[in-house]
Structure 1
Amino acid sequence: MSLKSIVLDANILIRSVLGEAVRNIIIQYHEKIDFFVPDVCLMDAVKYIPQIFEKRNMPSKPAMALLEKLKTLFNIVDKEIYMQYSHDAKERMKARDINDWPIVATALTFSCPIWTEDKDFFGSGMPTWTTDRIHIFLQQ
Protein backbone atom coordinates (compact mmCIF):
# COMPACT_ATOMS: atom_id res chain seq x y z
CA MET A 1 0.00 0.00 0.00
CA SER A 2 1.22 3.49 -0.86
CA LEU A 3 1.63 6.33 1.59
CA LYS A 4 -1.24 8.23 -0.04
CA SER A 5 -4.58 7.13 -1.39
CA ILE A 6 -7.67 8.60 -2.99
CA VAL A 7 -11.09 7.27 -4.03
CA LEU A 8 -12.08 7.73 -7.67
CA ASP A 9 -15.68 8.50 -8.55
CA ALA A 10 -17.23 6.95 -11.67
CA ASN A 11 -16.97 10.26 -13.53
CA ILE A 12 -13.19 10.16 -13.11
CA LEU A 13 -13.07 6.61 -14.51
CA ILE A 14 -15.11 7.73 -17.50
CA ARG A 15 -12.87 10.77 -18.03
CA SER A 16 -9.82 8.49 -17.92
CA VAL A 17 -11.21 6.73 -20.99
CA LEU A 18 -12.62 9.76 -22.82
CA GLY A 19 -9.61 12.05 -22.56
CA GLU A 20 -5.90 12.10 -21.96
CA ALA A 21 -5.57 14.48 -18.99
CA VAL A 22 -7.08 12.24 -16.29
CA ARG A 23 -5.59 9.10 -17.85
CA ASN A 24 -2.11 10.65 -17.88
CA ILE A 25 -2.40 11.66 -14.22
CA ILE A 26 -3.43 8.13 -13.23
CA ILE A 27 -0.62 6.56 -15.26
CA GLN A 28 1.94 9.00 -13.85
CA TYR A 29 0.99 8.49 -10.20
CA HIS A 30 -0.30 4.91 -9.97
CA GLU A 31 2.92 3.66 -8.37
CA LYS A 32 2.89 6.40 -5.71
CA ILE A 33 -0.82 6.69 -4.96
CA ASP A 34 -3.41 4.01 -4.24
CA PHE A 35 -6.40 4.72 -6.46
CA PHE A 36 -9.40 3.08 -4.78
CA VAL A 37 -12.49 2.46 -6.92
CA PRO A 38 -15.73 1.20 -5.36
CA ASP A 39 -17.13 -1.74 -7.32
CA VAL A 40 -20.27 0.26 -8.16
CA CYS A 41 -18.20 2.99 -9.82
CA LEU A 42 -16.57 0.45 -12.09
CA MET A 43 -20.01 -0.96 -12.92
CA ASP A 44 -21.23 2.57 -13.74
CA ALA A 45 -18.28 3.17 -16.06
CA VAL A 46 -18.89 -0.16 -17.81
CA LYS A 47 -22.55 0.81 -18.21
CA TYR A 48 -22.15 4.42 -19.36
CA ILE A 49 -19.04 4.37 -21.57
CA PRO A 50 -20.75 2.38 -24.36
CA GLN A 51 -23.75 4.72 -24.18
CA ILE A 52 -21.51 7.78 -24.51
CA PHE A 53 -19.73 6.32 -27.52
CA GLU A 54 -23.00 5.24 -29.11
CA LYS A 55 -24.31 8.83 -28.87
CA ARG A 56 -21.13 9.98 -30.62
CA ASN A 57 -21.55 7.33 -33.33
CA MET A 58 -18.22 5.81 -32.35
CA PRO A 59 -17.35 2.19 -31.57
CA SER A 60 -17.12 1.52 -27.84
CA LYS A 61 -14.96 -1.60 -28.06
CA PRO A 62 -11.60 0.29 -28.04
CA ALA A 63 -12.81 2.40 -25.09
CA MET A 64 -13.82 -0.68 -23.14
CA ALA A 65 -10.45 -2.28 -23.89
CA LEU A 66 -8.76 0.85 -22.55
CA LEU A 67 -10.86 0.70 -19.38
CA GLU A 68 -9.76 -2.92 -18.92
CA LYS A 69 -6.11 -1.84 -19.13
CA LEU A 70 -6.62 1.08 -16.76
CA LYS A 71 -8.42 -1.21 -14.31
CA THR A 72 -5.06 -2.83 -13.53
CA LEU A 73 -3.94 0.50 -12.02
CA PHE A 74 -6.87 0.66 -9.61
CA ASN A 75 -7.69 -1.08 -6.35
CA ILE A 76 -11.27 -2.23 -6.87
CA VAL A 77 -13.10 -2.22 -3.53
CA ASP A 78 -15.91 -4.74 -3.03
CA LYS A 79 -19.07 -3.80 -1.17
CA GLU A 80 -18.31 -6.05 1.80
CA ILE A 81 -15.20 -3.95 2.51
CA TYR A 82 -16.93 -0.55 2.62
CA MET A 83 -20.32 -1.74 4.01
CA GLN A 84 -19.20 -1.07 7.59
CA TYR A 85 -19.47 2.66 6.83
CA SER A 86 -22.76 2.51 4.93
CA HIS A 87 -24.84 4.19 7.64
CA ASP A 88 -22.47 7.14 8.10
CA ALA A 89 -22.02 7.48 4.34
CA LYS A 90 -25.77 7.48 3.70
CA GLU A 91 -26.27 10.10 6.41
CA ARG A 92 -23.69 12.33 4.73
CA MET A 93 -25.26 11.92 1.29
CA LYS A 94 -29.00 11.77 2.05
CA ALA A 95 -29.60 15.46 1.25
CA ARG A 96 -27.56 15.15 -1.95
CA ASP A 97 -27.39 11.99 -4.05
CA ILE A 98 -27.90 9.00 -1.77
CA ASN A 99 -26.69 6.68 -4.54
CA ASP A 100 -23.17 8.09 -4.08
CA TRP A 101 -22.87 6.61 -0.58
CA PRO A 102 -20.45 3.80 -1.65
CA ILE A 103 -17.86 6.40 -2.70
CA VAL A 104 -18.11 8.10 0.69
CA ALA A 105 -18.05 4.75 2.51
CA THR A 106 -14.89 3.75 0.62
CA ALA A 107 -13.25 7.07 1.52
CA LEU A 108 -14.18 6.52 5.16
CA THR A 109 -12.83 2.96 5.03
CA PHE A 110 -9.41 4.10 3.83
CA SER A 111 -9.43 7.55 5.50
CA CYS A 112 -8.76 9.31 2.24
CA PRO A 113 -10.24 12.02 0.00
CA ILE A 114 -12.41 11.64 -3.09
CA TRP A 115 -11.46 12.66 -6.64
CA THR A 116 -14.66 13.72 -8.38
CA GLU A 117 -16.31 16.34 -10.55
CA ASP A 118 -19.65 15.69 -8.84
CA LYS A 119 -20.70 18.66 -6.71
CA ASP A 120 -22.95 16.40 -4.61
CA PHE A 121 -19.91 15.54 -2.49
CA PHE A 122 -19.19 19.17 -1.61
CA GLY A 123 -20.58 19.90 1.84
CA SER A 124 -20.71 16.23 2.81
CA GLY A 125 -17.83 16.64 5.22
CA MET A 126 -15.58 14.59 2.95
CA PRO A 127 -12.38 16.04 1.51
CA THR A 128 -12.76 16.23 -2.25
CA TRP A 129 -10.46 17.07 -5.13
CA THR A 130 -11.40 18.05 -8.66
CA THR A 131 -9.24 17.40 -11.70
CA ASP A 132 -8.16 21.03 -11.99
CA ARG A 133 -6.70 20.86 -8.44
CA ILE A 134 -5.72 17.20 -8.05
CA HIS A 135 -2.06 18.01 -8.75
CA ILE A 136 -1.90 19.78 -5.37
CA PHE A 137 -2.89 16.57 -3.56
CA LEU A 138 -0.67 14.36 -5.69
CA GLN A 139 2.43 16.50 -5.26
CA GLN A 140 2.13 17.00 -1.48
Structure 2
Amino acid sequence: MMKLVLDSNIIFSALIKKSKTRDIILSDLFELYAPEYIFNEITKHKELLLNKSKLDRGDFDALLLLLQKHIHLLSKDKYNEKMAIAEDILRNIDITDSPFLALAMALSCSIWSNDGHFKQ
Protein backbone atom coordinates (compact mmCIF):
# COMPACT_ATOMS: atom_id res chain seq x y z
CA MET A 1 0.00 0.00 0.00
CA MET A 2 1.31 3.44 -0.92
CA LYS A 3 2.33 5.72 1.96
CA LEU A 4 1.64 9.47 1.95
CA VAL A 5 2.30 12.26 4.41
CA LEU A 6 -0.68 14.61 4.69
CA ASP A 7 -0.09 18.34 4.84
CA SER A 8 -2.39 20.40 7.08
CA ASN A 9 -4.23 21.92 4.13
CA ILE A 10 -5.41 18.49 2.99
CA ILE A 11 -6.95 17.74 6.37
CA PHE A 12 -8.44 21.25 6.51
CA SER A 13 -9.99 20.64 3.09
CA ALA A 14 -11.45 17.30 4.20
CA LEU A 15 -13.01 19.00 7.22
CA ILE A 16 -14.49 21.93 5.31
CA LYS A 17 -16.46 20.07 2.65
CA LYS A 18 -17.49 16.64 1.46
CA SER A 19 -15.07 16.02 -1.36
CA LYS A 20 -12.84 13.53 -3.11
CA THR A 21 -10.17 14.50 -0.59
CA ARG A 22 -12.36 13.39 2.31
CA ASP A 23 -13.42 10.25 0.44
CA ILE A 24 -9.80 9.27 -0.24
CA ILE A 25 -8.75 9.79 3.38
CA LEU A 26 -11.65 7.65 4.59
CA SER A 27 -11.11 4.96 1.93
CA ASP A 28 -8.00 3.30 3.37
CA LEU A 29 -6.52 3.10 -0.15
CA PHE A 30 -3.33 4.67 1.20
CA GLU A 31 -1.35 4.55 4.42
CA LEU A 32 -1.66 8.15 5.58
CA TYR A 33 0.74 9.80 8.01
CA ALA A 34 1.10 13.19 9.65
CA PRO A 35 3.15 14.75 12.44
CA GLU A 36 1.21 14.25 15.67
CA TYR A 37 1.03 17.99 16.34
CA ILE A 38 -1.17 18.48 13.26
CA PHE A 39 -4.32 18.16 15.32
CA ASN A 40 -3.08 21.00 17.56
CA GLU A 41 -3.12 23.11 14.39
CA ILE A 42 -6.67 22.02 13.71
CA THR A 43 -7.69 22.90 17.27
CA LYS A 44 -6.06 26.33 16.86
CA HIS A 45 -8.15 26.97 13.71
CA LYS A 46 -11.23 25.05 14.81
CA GLU A 47 -13.69 27.97 14.87
CA LEU A 48 -12.71 29.07 11.36
CA LEU A 49 -12.91 25.49 10.05
CA LEU A 50 -16.23 24.96 11.81
CA ASN A 51 -17.70 28.10 10.22
CA LYS A 52 -16.43 27.18 6.76
CA SER A 53 -17.70 23.61 7.04
CA LYS A 54 -21.24 24.71 7.94
CA LEU A 55 -21.42 21.64 10.20
CA ASP A 56 -22.71 21.83 13.73
CA ARG A 57 -20.08 21.32 16.43
CA GLY A 58 -21.10 17.71 17.14
CA ASP A 59 -20.91 16.65 13.48
CA PHE A 60 -17.61 18.49 13.04
CA ASP A 61 -16.09 16.77 16.09
CA ALA A 62 -17.37 13.37 14.89
CA LEU A 63 -15.83 13.97 11.45
CA LEU A 64 -12.54 15.03 13.02
CA LEU A 65 -12.43 11.82 15.08
CA LEU A 66 -13.27 9.76 12.01
CA LEU A 67 -10.45 11.37 10.01
CA GLN A 68 -8.02 10.81 12.89
CA LYS A 69 -8.76 7.08 12.78
CA HIS A 70 -7.47 6.96 9.21
CA ILE A 71 -4.23 8.89 9.79
CA HIS A 72 -1.16 7.53 11.56
CA LEU A 73 0.15 10.31 13.78
CA LEU A 74 3.88 10.13 14.39
CA SER A 75 5.85 11.87 17.10
CA LYS A 76 8.80 14.11 16.29
CA ASP A 77 11.29 11.45 17.36
CA LYS A 78 10.24 9.43 14.28
CA TYR A 79 11.49 12.13 11.89
CA ASN A 80 13.71 14.41 13.99
CA GLU A 81 16.91 13.18 12.31
CA LYS A 82 15.63 14.63 9.00
CA MET A 83 14.54 18.02 10.40
CA ALA A 84 17.80 19.87 9.72
CA ILE A 85 17.79 18.79 6.07
CA ALA A 86 14.09 19.66 5.69
CA GLU A 87 14.64 23.08 7.27
CA ASP A 88 17.55 23.78 4.92
CA ILE A 89 15.42 22.87 1.90
CA LEU A 90 12.41 24.94 3.00
CA ARG A 91 14.24 27.82 4.72
CA ASN A 92 13.42 30.35 1.98
CA ILE A 93 10.11 28.77 0.96
CA ASP A 94 8.02 27.87 4.04
CA ILE A 95 10.04 26.60 6.97
CA THR A 96 6.84 25.80 8.90
CA ASP A 97 6.32 22.88 6.51
CA SER A 98 9.63 21.30 7.55
CA PRO A 99 8.05 18.61 9.77
CA PHE A 100 6.00 17.32 6.82
CA LEU A 101 9.05 17.12 4.57
CA ALA A 102 11.15 15.55 7.34
CA LEU A 103 8.46 12.93 7.98
CA ALA A 104 8.18 12.16 4.26
CA MET A 105 11.96 11.75 4.05
CA ALA A 106 11.97 9.49 7.13
CA LEU A 107 9.22 7.32 5.63
CA SER A 108 10.62 7.51 2.07
CA CYS A 109 7.29 8.62 0.68
CA SER A 110 5.54 11.55 -1.00
CA ILE A 111 3.61 14.44 0.51
CA TRP A 112 -0.04 15.07 -0.33
CA SER A 113 -0.43 18.84 -0.25
CA ASN A 114 -2.07 21.73 -2.02
CA ASP A 115 1.08 23.82 -1.48
CA GLY A 116 2.83 24.49 -4.77
CA HIS A 117 6.32 24.17 -3.30
CA PHE A 118 5.71 20.49 -2.52
CA LYS A 119 4.82 19.77 -6.14
CA GLN A 120 8.38 20.59 -7.21
Q: Secondary structure at the residue paired with 2:5?
A: strand
**Counterpart in 1 of 2:16?**
18
Q: Which amino acid aligns with 1:53?
A: L
Shift of the alpha carbon at 1:105?
0.5
**Aligned partners of 2:103, 2:70: CA distance in 1, in Å?**
17
Give yes or no for the alignment of 1:103 onto 2:100: yes
**Aligned partners of 1:66, 1:57: CA distance in 2, in Å?**
13
**Aligned partners of 1:92, 1:64: CA distance in 2, in Å?**
35
Give yes or no for the alignment of 1:114 onto 2:111: yes
Q: Which amino acid aligns with 2:17?
A: G
Identity %: 25
Unpaired segments ≥5 residues, structure 2 = none
Backbone CA RMSD of aligned residues: 2.0
Give yes or no for the alignment of 1:48 onto 2:48: no
Normalised TM-score (structure 1): 0.75
Q: Secondary structure at the residue paired with 2:37?
A: helix
Given the superposition, is the C-alpha separation of residues 95 and 54 from structure 1 closer, same or farther in structure 2, using an over 3 Å criterion? same
- Decide which of 55, 64, 81 is 2:61's aligned counterpart: 64
Q: Secondary structure at the residue paired with 1:24?
A: helix
Contact kept, 8 Å, 1:39 with 1:76, in 2: the verdict is: yes
- Decide which of 2, 6, 13 is 2:4's aligned counterpart: 6
Shift of the alpha carbon at 1:120?
3.5
Given the superposition, is the C-alpha separation of residues 15 and 56 from structure 1 closer, same or farther in structure 2, using an over 3 Å criterion? closer
**Counterpart in 2 of 1:39?**
36
Shift of the alpha carbon at 1:54?
4.1
Unpaired segments ≥5 residues, structure 1 = 124-140
